[in-house]
Amino acid sequence: MKIKERYVEFVNENILRIYEKKNDTSLFGLNEPERNVTVEKRPAVGRNADGSICIRRNGVTVFSEKAVDKDHAPEEKVNFDIAFKEGHKKSDNRRSYKTRIGIALLGEEDKIYGLGDKAAFLNRRGYEYVSKNSDDPTQHNETYRSLYKSVNFIMVNHDRTWYGVFYPSSYECTFDLGKHDPDILCIYSDKGEYDYYLFLGDSPLDIVRAYYSLVGPGIFTTMKFMGYHQSRWSYTDAEAHEVVRRHAEEDLPLDFIHFDIDYMDGYRVYTVNENYVPEFKKTCEEFKKQGVGVITIIDPAVKKDKGYSVYEEVKKIRGFATLKGKEYVNEVWPGDAVYPDYFRKDVRDYFKNITKKFMEKYGITGIWGDMNEPASFKGPLPEDVEFPGDERMILHDEAHNLYGEYMSRTLSESFREENKRPTVITRAAFATTARYTASWNGDNQSLWDHLRTSLPQVMTMNLCGFFMNGVDVGGFGNDTTKELLIRWLEADIFMPYLRNHSALGTKRQEPWSFGCETYEIYKKFLRLRYEFIPYLYTLQWQAYKYGTPMFAPLFLYYPGDERVKEINDEVMVGDRILHAPVVDQGEKRRVVYLPEGRWIDYFTGKAYDGGRDYIVDMPIDSTGIFVKAGAVIPLMKGKTYVDPKEINEIFVYHAKDPEDRGDICLPFDLHWDDGESLDYEKGVYDTIRIKVGNGKAEIERLKNDFGKELRFTLL
Ligand code: GLC
């Protein structure tokens, strides 16, 4: 097969761009670091016999392309009619795409990670996924080719070497991760070009950070956002009051309550249904006084409705998508609906301002952007629906995977303008969307399988630079059970974004829905979460600043340990906490693998030697939290909502190893700031190194530009 001219550009020693023709990235602007390459440190770029590229680092081949022609893995010639009659579907086996990037998988044991929110295991080798944001509420599983997000980043591990690949195109593309040919990883696209970034480094953390340097920096949320969120489709005013009252009465932590679509008048965005939520403004104000913020859902599609101001005003500026020049209409919750052209600045400004006014009018704290794939009930939007952006016409095929990003960017601007950190959540996203918003992974279900999936899903989102991500705890669709709800909260207790949310008509799953025992356990774990807020907040800072995942697979910190490369049910929360929850129905104990080093059980203080499996008892009210021996962790106590102004004392936990009399200390650099404004971007924050020695907490202020007075008390 003849290979066209292929170019290799060095962004730096660890980031290369390999292309025949570059994708036009203007719609999502990458943050290419300044070009800076020391010739001696450059990896060696070679050519295979067929002209494809291979890369050697430190004398070892770490990466090699492999030509893939259009007949690669030919289709099975079988008559499928009989199978179709029973409702079976055939997956798309087409390989004849315009662009076919082939990468050799160098060994049978190579692992492939990445691709964002797929409901899959950490290692995605052998599967095929399609980057095309979709909205499908049926039961997601690992063979689901597309979910809500298109994050075209993968990371490959071969022996001790690692590399990452990012495909910088918003057009639909397919990642065949060794499904058709176990020795080749392919990226296919009809409209995207032969063009990708290659990330090299010594460890997976190097790769992830190099990728983040290109697509980041991600959002840094308020400290409050890391508290607990309670949601339901759809609380009435009275129900919301009941939720807030019960939380307050029993000191059960709560920071946000979410209002789903029924708070709107006929699902018209930026309106309020006075019957469903009478006195909404008063409600928001009362909640705020109790430390509880209100987050309202906003969908992009606008009801096509004469006389409805949002529709009329945006129509006046011709701000809706068109088809052959005429307003394009599909259907979403409000019935006939039209789609804002967020690719235009005046349209974004309109929605930015109306969001600001709406939030001010009622006292709303945050916006939950949903249905922004964009969803459409009357079939998918045709590929040629037009978004006449500012500089050029953008068609839906290019716009689709970026629609959620442009909506999120619009929403987030309405906060940033007022020097506030955005409290924005999105469902749909492209690789670069975490710059603007936190995210959740859409409509999961109350299934043990989805509880298990939540861990690799959020860990993978973290590898891809989406740190502030979470799932619907308890499951969205279907009915949860007492045991599932408890185990789910336990398992996801360190998830960066923690929200319990459930669908209309399903069994209620607020903390008290299953009686006393559940309630007490729920309370115990929510309080635990709140204790860890200073630690988690600092992890978010490190993620934002350096691209270090806060909710990470074990291999990120122990890349040399073969055992951890496919552990889906244990999580590293930062570099010093290993969380191994029960994720199976009926289990009262589980096998925990602890990597090298010594580990201390957070609850009992018992020490374990790493590099081995243990069977650990975990009755229904417990989970496995293991802390690296000697590690320091900053905690807070007794708070039921997060207000940084009210936090004056940090409690220092030291994971003492009984065998070394507690002498070893792994210090921690606490990040502190006002927790809500953008002043951190100007350097207004504190970095406080916490150590333990001579039986007390020792503090060193490495940076003191915010100057918060805090007391440190060793536990
Ligand atoms: C979508 C969202 C879900 C929400 C529902 C109603 O299914 O994913 O979270 O509750 O719409 O707005």
Alpha-carbon distance of 674 to 140, in angstroms, equals 39
Phi, psi of 361 (to 5 degrees): -55, -40
Alpha helix segments (H runs only) across 78-219: 81-85, 204-215
Atom of ligand 1 nearest to the CA of 137: 7
Rounded average pLDDT over 686-695: 95
Task: Pick 452 or 70 by higher pLDDT.
Answer: 452
Q: How far is the CA of 370 from the centre of ligand 1 (A)?
A: 7
Atom of ligand 1 nearest to the CA of 427: 8
Q: Which amino acid type is present at position 583?
A: V
Alpha-carbon distance of 403 to 250, in angstroms, equals 42
Q: Which amino acid type is present at position 136?
A: D
Q: How far is the CA of 85 from the centre of ligand 1 (A)?
A: 32
pLDDT digit string (tens) for 133-192?
999 989 999 999 999 999 999 999 999 999 999 999 999 999 999 999 999 999 999 999
3-class DSSP state for residue 331?
Answer: strand
Distances (CA, A) of 469 to 1, 342, 533: 43, 23, 16
Alpha helix segments (H runs only) across 124-236: 204-215
Three-state SS string over 446-469 comes to CCHHHHHHHHHHHHHHHHCCCCCE
**Angle formed at CA 25 by CA 21 and CA 28, multiple of 5 degrees:** 165
pLDDT digit string (tens) for 541-590?
999 999 999 999 999 999 999 999 999 999 999 999 999 999 999 999 99
pLDDT bucket at 445, cuts 50 / 70 / 90: very high
Q: What is the pLDDT of residue 5?
A: 85
Lowest mean pLDDT among 57-61, 165-169, 380-384: 57-61
3-class DSSP state for residue 438?
Answer: strand
Q: Which residues are known to be catalytic?
A: 370, 373, 443
Alpha-carbon distance of 156 to 109, in angstroms, equals 11
Q: What is the pLDDT of residue 26?
A: 79
Q: How far is the CA of 261 from the centre of ligand 1 (A)?
A: 8
- By DSSP bridging, strand 322-323 and strand 302-303 are unpaired
Q: What's the Rg (C-alpha) of the chain?
A: 25
Q: What is the pLDDT of residue 103?
A: 98
* Ligand 1 pocket, CB under 6 A: 137, 233, 260-261, 297, 370, 427, 442-443, 476, 501
Describe the strand order of the beta sheet including 649-654 as a list of residue ranges.
Answer: 632-635, 649-654, 711-714
What is residue 477's DSSP assignment? B
Atom of ligand 1 nearest to the CA of 443: 8
Alpha-carbon distance of 302 to 366, in angstroms, equals 20
Q: What is the pLDDT of residue 220?
A: 98
Query: 673 is written with which tokens?
Result: 């700031």
Q: What is the pLDDT of residue 84?
A: 84
Q: What is the pLDDT of residue 500?
A: 98
* pTM for the structure as a whole: 0.97
Q: How far is the CA of 260 from the centre of ligand 1 (A)?
A: 7
